[in-house]
Amino acid sequence: MSDKNKPETLAAQALGQIDPETGALVPPIHVSTTFARLPDYSLVDGRSYIRDHGPTQEQVESVLCELEGGADAISFSSGLAACTAAFHALNAGDHVLVSDTIYHGVLSWLKQFAGARGLEYAFFATGNIEQFEDLIRPNQTKLVWLETPANPTWAITDIAAFCEVAHRHDVYVAVDSTCATPVLSQPIKLGADLVCHSATKYLNGHSDVLAGMLVTAKKDVMWERIRQHRLLAGSTLGSLEAFLLMRGMRTLFVRVHKQCENAMALAQFLEAHHAVEKVHYPGLASDPGHQVACRQMSGGFGGMLSILVSGDRQYAIATACKAKVFKRATSLGGVESVLEHRKTSEGDLTNTPENLIRISVGIEHVDDLLGDLKQMLDGG
Ligand SMILES: *Cc1c(COP(=O)(O)O)cnc(C)c1O
């Protein structure tokens, strides 16, 4: 298939690969953990053992690599296995700068394990490029970790601007793009070195697979160390999960576009509601990230939003308890809408407000979602 095809086509057809042996449109799931050597003792396509790489994993990796415009991609057993592989690839004594609004699991790993790994780290206020530059330690700061839109306020970081400053100081830029997906932005095209996904979320989209992905802009030393880390820590994605993930990714574009459309309608409704103090959604003109989001996202602003309800923790939880169409559950990016009192999931580690409800918007009919939010909030 010509690589001039549009990303929607590449995703729907999984790059158009057809099984050469059988003509199967859907490639078989390769469950074998080991691969036979040829009579001259050479390996077929370099494959020896599944912990390093297998054909079903390679298929889904090649599709994401293409969608992100990267040089290579590898899959992991979870999103956090992918995120933390980037930190594990660093050396003791290296310094890392981290945006202070990020997925709480990454924060927990840093707080509990970065010290033991000999890594030093510091936080800068999300999006604050001056503070970021001030914190860079010459020859010691090796990596900056960004997430945009960022959990749970969907704060936007200007990827291109951060890359410009970071690269001037030889700092490697990693972007957790779980919530943007390659449908809405491609960090590598904006200068990022590494893109991370919890594929559990939008890439799979059906709340039934745990998986992670990393995509690199170039096959450099850092990438080789990341690959080695996955091989030796053993955080490889299983073949059945890789197959399911590939099936989910075929519909990525239609799902994400519908989720963006629904989320925008809900955000506008919520912004006008008296029981809502604030709506965090980069698609709203009132959102501080809106201008940058318009520049670096295309086709929508994502399916995630958060609201601060006019009340305390009890009131927020009581509001969540009234949901009928929305399911009360953590996680995000599935076809079904879920909401949660975010502080309950994150615990004391973060400074997420007690009155914040996080909403992952699915692909249901928007009227059902609007109706549910209305009955939840109107009661007072
Ligand atoms: C869920 C999530 C992760 C962690 O992914 P898992 O697949 O749950 O391990 C990392 N980053 C972001 C932004 C996430 O939403």
The sheet with strand 194-198 has its strands ordered as 72-76, 212-216, 194-198, 172-176, 141-147, 95-99, 120-124
pLDDT tens string, the chain, 380 residues long: the values are 455 799 999 999 999 988 888 999 999 999 999 999 999 999 999 999 999 989 999 999 999 999 999 999 999 999 999 999 999 999 999 999 999 999 999 999 999 999 999 999 999 999 999 999 999 999 999 999 999 999 999 999 999 999 999 999 999 999 999 999 999 999 999 999 999 999 999 999 999 999 999 999 999 999 999 999 999 999 999 999 999 999 999 999 999 999 999 999 999 999 999 999 999 999 999 999 999 999 999 999 999 999 999 999 999 999 999 999 999 999 999 999 999 999 999 988 888 999 999 999 999 999 999 999 999 999 75
CA of 161 to the centre of ligand 1 (A): 25
Give the strand pairing for 95-99 and 141-147.
Answer: parallel
Residue 32 lies in a domain: yes
Residues 30 and 163 in one domain: yes
Instruction: Indicate the number of domains in the chain.
Output: 2
Residues 140 and 272 in one domain: no
Q: Specify the ligand 1 atom closest to the Cα of 199.
A: 7
Q: Is 168 annotated in the active site? A: no
| pTM, to two decimals | 0.97
Question: What was the pLDDT predicted at 119?
Answer: 98
Residues 240 and 262 in one domain: no
Question: What was the pLDDT predicted at 1?
Answer: 46
Q: Give me the amino acid identity at 60.
A: V
Q: Specify the ligand 1 atom closest to the Cα of 80.
A: 9
Distances in whole angstroms, Cα of residue 336 to Cα of each of 30, 266, 361: 30, 15, 7
Residues 29 and 133 in one domain: yes
Residues 289 and 201 in one domain: no
Which of 203, 225, 249 is a domain's end point?
Answer: 249
Q: Select which of 94, 103, 258, 343 is catalytic.
A: 103
Question: What was the pLDDT predicted at 350?
Answer: 85
Is residue 273 within 8 A of residue 316, CB to CB? The reply is no
User: Nearest-CA neighbor of 102 among 232, 5, 198?
Assistant: 198
Residues 79 and 164 in one domain: yes
Specify whether the backbone of 181 is left (phi greater than 0), alpha (psi in -120 to 50) or beta: left
Burial 248-268 (b: 16+ CB within 10 A, else e): bbebbbebbbbbbebbbbbbe
Question: Does the CB atom of residue 7 touch ligand 1 within 6 A?
Answer: no
Other Cβ atoms within 10 Å of 125 Cβ, number: 13
Which residue is closest in CA terms to ligand 1's atom 2?
A: 198
Other Cβ atoms within 10 Å of 177 Cβ, number: 28
d(CA 72, CA 79): 17
Cis status of the peptide bond prior to 149, with omega within 30 of 0: yes
Residue 2 lies in a domain: no
Residue 81 lies in a domain: yes
Q: Which residues contact 217 (CB under 8 A, 6 or more apart)?
A: 70, 71, 188, 192, 193, 194
Which residue is closest in CA terms to ligand 1's atom 8?
A: 79
CA of 80 to the centre of ligand 1 (A): 6
Which of 214, 249, 284 is a domain's end point?
Answer: 249
Residues 223 and 269 in one domain: no
Question: Does the CB atom of residue 151 touch ligand 1 within 6 A?
Answer: yes
Which residue is closest in CA terms to ligand 1's atom 5?
A: 79
Q: Specify the ligand 1 atom closest to the Cα of 81.
A: 9
CA of 276 to the centre of ligand 1 (A): 27
Per the structure, the complete domain to which residue 286 belongs is given by: 253-377
Residue 42 lies in a domain: yes
Question: Does the CB atom of residue 176 touch ligand 1 within 6 A?
Answer: yes
Q: Is 225 annotated in the active site? A: no
Q: Select which of 47, 94, 142, 176 is catalytic.
A: 176
d(CA 151, CA 304): 9
DSSP 95-137: EEEEESS--HHHHHHIIIIITTTT-EEEEE-TT-HHHHHHHPP
Which of 198, 217, 249 is a domain's end point?
Answer: 249
Residue 220 lies in a domain: yes
Is residue 164 within 8 A of residue 140, CB to CB? The reply is no
Q: Is 219 annotated in the active site? A: no
The distance between the two most distant Cα atoms of the chain, rounded to a whole number of Å, is 76
CA of 198 to the centre of ligand 1 (A): 4
Find the CATH number of the domain harbouring 66: 3.40.640.10
Cis status of the peptide bond prior to 138, with omega within 30 of 0: no
d(CA 335, CA 196): 21
Residues 149 and 20 in one domain: yes
